């Protein structure tokens, strides 16, 4: 009984302490100390927006709050207000927005200020590398790429959070891929191939970069290697990756080697495979195009829930949801929800005349708005990615149709010229396989081995030589 | 006067009568043609064999798909990063 009385006295004291903490105006430091970081961030930005002289302690607090929340939380604020805040995270955000709008000069001015110790340093270097490449500054591009790739790789080893680890790992791979892509754009296809070859097969980006490497081989007329890379997508390990562009490159590879019948088979298979899938996806998109939550729910369905969907839509949703952005946004959304619930409990625990009720209610509204923004953002990006997929498929099917027309035209030329191609489609031979001294060769015996993925090559002979068609004499 | 005119007429008529002589026409009884010896002078312009000359077909070369860069992929990577 005595212990119960003691316990109630202690809780009453604690209750009165709780009430004393919350003053009549919102204070970012107090909110941050209590763990309400999103609410504190909003309070701090509004406070700094009104001040002319900014104190370093306030700026440090702002930076700390951004690190604990995410930089996207500032996207909804007026840029003129943000431009006055000399904080590295804010400058990164402004630089990235300027980059998206292709305002390179302005973007560069912001991004060079992000220091090396900062979380967003590798990403800032990535954007600077991209802009340097577009400006033709090869030396600067290489320097930025190296900084991005090395620092991102180091951070991936150091951080413990799985979400951040994935973010830095993917960023490091993006920086390495950037180098290969810029070499490709400059027409240095062989160097581009060598750079792509250095990317680890276990990386997140590797399945997508196979297609780009295949394009580089295509442009140096190594069609066998290009086709070999593309056949990797037929392996069971990569069955969930939908890259319609791989089909068109396969058809083009056969076309350039004048294997017209093979090209036509690929084209027909594309229409047969992708047409029903695209129609199913399009029907779903049109039904829910105005929804603010459907695609958000699609991203976070469990595997069991996805089984009820059309298999193609389920697989595409899985592929889209694996992007780092969705993991970061989901983490932020969970934190905002948690914070909102906690603040609501504190609010309801205050007396009706408490001096903090007014601003706390305002903070709760801000958190609710932040939560809706995050849900809307996730929904928008998922919807946009799926719409982009459908548009891409339609665009590529038009290109495939052109290939088909060109094949028909070439076949007509052969008929008119009384000619035929030099040989019928054979199985190929090993003499046609080109490989560097760093590449080994194994024959394919009907099985895809994981370590061989990405190293396949066909051995088809170029069929473009023509011979006179001989008409048999009638007896 | 009349006598003179009559004398002139007699003179003309007698001249005409004196001018008519008998003409005897003689035709060849046999004529031979050597066809192998015939020659035609000129230039051969017709081709020796029958053939169809290919007409110039108008060839439309379609601009087939090719990737010149991966700039869209770079932008997509940044947008899907965070």
Please state, as a whole number, how many other Cβ atoms lie within 10 Å of the Cβ of residue A469. 11
Residue A101 structure tokens: 């709008």
**Contact list, B54 vs chain A (CB under 8 Å):** 416-417
Q: What is the DSSP letter of B36?
A: G
Q: Which of B65, B68, B82 shows the shortest C-beta gap to A167?
A: B82
Distance from CA of B38 to the nearest CA of A (A): 40
> Along the 475 residues of chain A, how does pLDDT read in single tens digits?
665 555 555 444 444 444 446 887 888 998 998 899 999 999 999 999 999 899 999 999 999 999 999 888 888 899 999 999 999 999 999 999 999 999 999 999 999 999 999 999 999 999 999 999 889 898 999 999 999 999 999 999 999 988 889 899 999 999 989 989 999 999 999 999 999 988 888 888 899 999 999 999 999 999 999 999 999 998 888 877 888 999 999 999 999 999 999 999 999 999 998 889 899 999 999 999 899 999 999 988 888 888 888 888 988 888 888 888 888 888 899 999 999 999 999 999 988 888 889 999 999 999 999 999 999 989 998 999 899 999 999 999 999 999 999 999 898 888 887 777 776 656 677 777 777 777 667 777 777 677 778 888 888 888 887 766 665 544 4
Cβ–Cβ contact A136 with B under 8 A: no
Distance from CA of B67 to the nearest CA of A (A): 7
Cβ–Cβ contact B21 with A under 8 A: no
Distances (CA, A) of A193 to A203, A226, A319, A361: 17, 11, 26, 58
Distance from CA of B45 to the nearest CA of A (A): 26
CB contact under 8 A, A416 and B57: yes
* Domain regions of chain A by residue span: 23-67, 87-204
CA atoms within 13 A on the CB side of A361: 8
User: Between the CA atoms of A430, A436, A438 and A440, what dihedral angle is there, to the nearest 10 degrees?
Assistant: -10
Cβ–Cβ contact B23 with A under 8 A: no
CB contact under 8 A, B70 and A212: yes
Closest CA to A399 of A284, A252, A274: A252
Alpha-carbon distance of A469 to A471, in angstroms, equals: 6
Alpha-carbon distance of A453 to A433, in angstroms, equals: 16
Alpha-carbon distance of A198 to A217, in angstroms, equals: 15
Q: Which of B67, B74, B82 shows the shortest C-beta gap to A130?
A: B74
Cβ–Cβ contact A323 with B under 8 A: yes
Cβ–Cβ contact B13 with A under 8 A: no
Q: What is the DSSP letter of A467?
A: E
Q: Which residue has the tokens 């010149």?
A: B68
CB contact under 8 A, A405 and B79: no
Please state, as a whole number, how many other Cβ atoms lie within 10 Å of the Cβ of residue A263. 23
Cβ–Cβ contact B34 with A under 8 A: no
Cβ–Cβ < 8 Å for A260, A422 = no
- The ipTM of this complex is 0.81
Residue A468, beta-bridge partner list: A419
Cβ–Cβ contact B60 with A under 8 A: yes
pTM for the complete prediction? 0.78
Nearest CA in chain A to B77: A174
**Contact list, B73 vs chain A (CB under 8 Å):** 181, 208, 212
Alpha-carbon distance of A348 to B19, in angstroms, equals: 162
């Amino acid at each position: 009984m005595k212990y119960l009385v003691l316990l109630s006295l202690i809780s009453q004291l604690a209750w009165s302490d709780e009430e004393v903490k919350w003053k009549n105006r919102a204070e970012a430091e107090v909110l941050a100390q209590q763990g309400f970081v999103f609410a504190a961030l909003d309070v701090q930005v509004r406070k700094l927006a009104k001040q002319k002289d900014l104190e370093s302690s306030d700026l440090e607090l702002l930076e700390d709050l951004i690190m604990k929340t995410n930089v996207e939380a500032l996207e909804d604020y007026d840029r003129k207000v943000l431009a006055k805040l000399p904080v590295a995270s804010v400058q990164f955000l402004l630089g990235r927005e300027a980059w998206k709008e292709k305002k390179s000069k302005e973007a560069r001015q912001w991004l060079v200020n992000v220091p090396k110790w900062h979380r967003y340093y590798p990403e800032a270097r990535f954007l600077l590398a991209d802009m340097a490449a577009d400006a033709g500054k090869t030396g600067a591009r290489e320097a930025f790429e190296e900084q991005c790739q090395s620092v991102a790789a180091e951070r991936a080893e150091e951080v413990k959070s799985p979400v951040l680890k994935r973010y830095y790992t993917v960023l490091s791979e993006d920086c390495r891929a950037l180098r290969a892509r810029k070499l490709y754009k400059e027409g240095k296809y062989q160097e581009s191939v060598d750079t792509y070859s250095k990317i680890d097969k276990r990386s997140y980006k590797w399945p997508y970069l196979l297609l780009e490497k295949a394009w580089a081989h295509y442009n140096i007329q190594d069609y066998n290697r290009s086709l070999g890379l593309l056949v990797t997508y037929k392996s069971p390990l990569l069955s969930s990756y939908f890259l319609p562009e791989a089909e068109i490159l396969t058809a083009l590879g056969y076309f350039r080697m004048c294997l017209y019948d093979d090209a036509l088979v690929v084209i027909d298979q594309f229409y047969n495979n992708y047409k029903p899938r695209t129609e199913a996806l399009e029907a779903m998109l049109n039904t829910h195009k105005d929804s603010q939550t459907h695609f958000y729910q699609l991203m976070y369905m469990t595997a069991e829930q996805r089984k009820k969907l059309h298999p193609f839509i389920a697989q595409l949703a899985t592929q889209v949801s694996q992007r780092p952005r969705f993991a970061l946004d989901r983490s932020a959304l969970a934190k905002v929800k948690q914070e909102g619930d906690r603040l609501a409990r504190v609010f309801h625990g205050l007396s009706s005349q408490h001096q903090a009720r007014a601003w706390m209610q305002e903070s709760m509204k801000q958190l609710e708005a932040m939560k809706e923004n995050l849900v809307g953002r996730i929904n928008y990006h998922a919807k946009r990615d799926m719409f982009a997929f459908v548009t891409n498929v339609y665009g590529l099917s038009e290109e495939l149709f052109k290939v088909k027309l060109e094949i028909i035209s070439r076949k007509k030329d052969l008929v008119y010229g009384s000619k035929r191609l030099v040989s019928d489609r054979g199985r190929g031979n090993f003499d046609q396989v080109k490989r560097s001294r760093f590449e080994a060769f194994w024959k394919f015996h009907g099985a895809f081995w994981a370590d061989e993925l990405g190293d396949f090559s066909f051995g088809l002979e170029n069929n473009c030589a023509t011979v006179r068609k001989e008409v048999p004499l009638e007896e | 006067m009349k006598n003179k005119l009559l004398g002139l007429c007699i003179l003309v008529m007698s001249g005409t009568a004196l001018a008519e002589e008998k003409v005897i026409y003689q035709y060849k009884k046999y004529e031979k043609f050597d066809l192998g010896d015939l020659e035609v002078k000129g230039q051969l312009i017709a081709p020796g064999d029958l053939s169809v000359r290919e007409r110039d077909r108008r060839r439309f070369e379609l601009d087939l798909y090719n990737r010149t860069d991966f700039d869209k992929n770079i932008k997509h990577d940044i947008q899907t990063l965070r």
